[in-house]
Amino acid sequence: NAGVTQTPKFRILKIGQSMTLQCTQDMNHNYMYWYRQDPGMGLKLIYYSVGAGITDKGEVPNGYNVSRSTTEDFPLRLELAAPSQTSVYFCASSYYTLSSGRAYEQYFGPGTRLTVT
């Protein structure tokens, strides 16, 4: 298993450009997440999905969009990039069943470092 893979690893965008960050997991996890990590600020949740076709906002969703058409893929779209979106973006996935009531580990990808200038 490759786990959670993210592309690209690095990207420089000009203000106003758009791009899609790709995320794929091969663990058949139903839950997927997008976080951004800024220096000294920890990780903040942008969007999450509890299954194909279901997405919801996290703590910092403004300026981003997501879709979840398959279990494996959860792309993050940046429209009209702004310098405030300069960050490291992490995709994560986990498995959860309501009947188990137990917490499952979130597995993180290697991240995409994005710079907007």
Partner 1 sequence: QQQVKQSPQSLIVQKGGISIINCAYENTAFDYFPWYQQFPGKGPALLIAIRPDVSEKKEGRFTISFNKSAKQFSLHIMDSQPGDSATYFCAASIVGGGGNKLTFGTGTQLKVEL
Chain residues that interact with partner 1, rule: CB under 8 A: 4, 31, 33, 35, 40-45, 48, 50, 56, 58-59, 90, 92, 94, 96, 98, 101-111
By beta-carbon proximity to partner 1, the closer residue of 14 and 39 is: 39
Residue that is written with structure tokens 């690893």 in the block:
9
Identify which of residues 16 and 57 has a Cβ nearer to partner 1 in the complex.
57
Closest contact distance (angstroms) between CB of 77 and partner 1 is 19
- Cα dist. 1→5, 29, 112 in Å? 10, 12, 20
Q: Which is nearer to partner 1, 33 or 116 (CB)?
A: 33
